[in-house]
Structures are given as C-alpha cells and as structure tokens.
Amino acid sequence: EADIYQTPRYLVIGTGKKITLECSQTMGHDKMYWYQQDPGMELHLIHYSYGVNSTEKGDLSSESTVSRIRTEHFPLTLESARPSHTSQYLCASSEYRETANEKLFFGSGTQLSVL
Amino acid sequence: AQKITQTQPGMFVQEKEAVTLDCTYDTSDPSYGLFWYKQPSSGEMIFLIYQGSYDQQNATEGRYSLNFQKARKSANLVISASQLGDSAMYFCAMRDRGAQKLVFGQGTRLTINP
C-alpha cells in the first residue's frame, strides 16, 4: 500500500564520515517527516517539511540536516557521524489535510550504526 | 501541548485471546485524531486504526477496534482473537487539528504465546 522507500536499510560507518539517508515517496504527498527511534523506544520527530523548499526542525534536537528540492525526495544528511547518532531513522509522508485525520505512511527505516 | 501515555511496557497473551492495549492522551484542542501503529521486529510502522475526536462511534478495522472514552481521555486498542503474527510493538499516537505533527507514546511490546 505505502510507496515510500528508504535506503540504505542498514548502514555501519566510522566516526567522522558524512552520510546521507535517502527517502523517496511516489504518492505525491506534500508533507514528509524524519523520526528517530532507539530500539524498543518511542519515535521522536527530528525534521519535517510542508513541501518543496520547506523544512522545519522537530521536537528532538538533531545535528542532521534535511533538504526538499523535489516533492518526492527528502534526504537526511549527517556531516560528521558520531556513535551517539546510532539509531533507527524512519521517514514518513502524508497528504495534507485540514482535519486531524492525517495518516502517516512510513518507510522501512534505516538502521544506522556509527563505530 | 499534545501528550500520549502508554503505561504497559510489555504484555504477554495466549493465542486466540483478546487483548487490550492502554493509551491515554492529553490535549487542549477539541479537534484531534488518535492513531494506532504496529511495528514488527522488521522495523516498519504499519497503520492499524484511526479515531477522530468527533466520531460518534468507536472505530473498527477487522480484528482491531478502538475503545474511545473521551471523558477519560483514553483510546485503548482491542485486538480480538490474537494471532502469533500480532507479536510486535504497538504505538498510540495523536495529532491535534492545529498541530503539524504526530506525537507517539512510548509503545507496548505485545507477545502472543502459542
């Protein structure tokens, strides 16, 4: 049902490397989100976007940055990865609605491990 | 501000039994939506069910139903006739009409025993 894709699925990388987590959706959704989740824990919103050229920071402070140059693409970048960035990163999208019924569609996630 | 609380870190249930996962919420917005998501060990988040604050009837989707008690600010998920494949993390979430984001609870890990 959901046409939202994240790559890579798993990433193991050394400290100090620059990484980009990819997220693409084919549903034409205006809104996209990045959530961070530690194992077995709640999801924390780190970035979101209302549409092209719109990006906002979420509730959880993050050293990552995002861009939204195209509607379907919402990549997340870490300029210098650290072990504290080890986590699962979930991308989601939704169709804008005036009501509260704004269902999020999630990708499969990227499990990032920084050594 | 929106807040979601799930007080059951883990639950163990026998296969074919019904199970209720608790969720309470807090908001000052009279218009809001409540969601339940399932997260299997593979990691993806799967939407299960939605309840709007003005909906008169409790939402149902197959074996899932939402026991919505507005005065108590609770939105418990009921799974009837549980199956082994129901073993997963379950997250309650809410969105105020005026908010731009979905806020999640801490989650409940459900284990179905054969």
pLDDT digits (tens, 9 = 90+) for B19-56: 999 999 999 888 999 999 999 998 889 999 999 999 98
Q: How many pairs of residues across A and B have Cβ atoms under 8 Å apart?
A: 68
Please give the pLDDT value at position A102.
Answer: 82
Encoded tokens for B39: 């997260």
Q: Is B32 on the interface with A (CB under 8 A)?
A: yes
The distance of A99 to chain B (nearest Cα, Å) reads 6
Encoded tokens for A41: 């824990």
Which member of A31, A58, A108 has the closest CB to residue B43?
Answer: A108
Cis before A83? omega within 30: no
Say whether A104 and B102 touch across the interface (CB within 8 A): yes
* Cα–Cα distance measured from residue A95 to residue B8, given in angstroms and rounded to the nearest whole number: 31
Give the count of beta carbons closer than 10 Å to the beta carbon of residue B30.
9
Say whether A107 and B100 touch across the interface (CB within 8 A): no
SS (H, E, C) A81-105: CCHHHCEEEEEEEECCCCCCCCCCE
Q: What's the length of chain A?
A: 115
CA atoms within 13 A on the CB side of B13: 25
What H or E segment, with its residue span, contains residue B98?
none
Is the pLDDT at B96 greater than 90? The verdict is: no
pLDDT by residue for chain A (115 residues), tens digit each? 559 999 999 999 999 999 999 999 999 999 999 999 998 889 999 999 999 999 999 888 788 999 999 999 999 999 999 999 999 999 999 987 767 778 899 999 999 999 9
Q: Is B105 on the interface with A (CB under 8 A)?
A: yes
Encoded tokens for B81: 């006739």
Say whether A92 and B45 touch across the interface (CB within 8 A): yes
* Cα–Cα distance measured from residue B89 to residue B107, given in angstroms and rounded to the nearest whole number: 6
Please give the pLDDT value at position A103.
Answer: 87
Average pLDDT, chain B: 93
Helices (H) and strands (E) in chain A, counts: 0, 11
Please give the pLDDT value at position A1.
Answer: 54
Buried b (16+ CB within 10 A) or exposed e, A18-32: ebebebbbeeebebb
Q: Across-strand partners of A88?
A: A37, A111
Please give the pLDDT value at position B59.
Answer: 95
Going by pLDDT thresholds of 50, 70 and 90, the confidence category of residue B100 is confident
Please give the pLDDT value at position B66.
Answer: 97
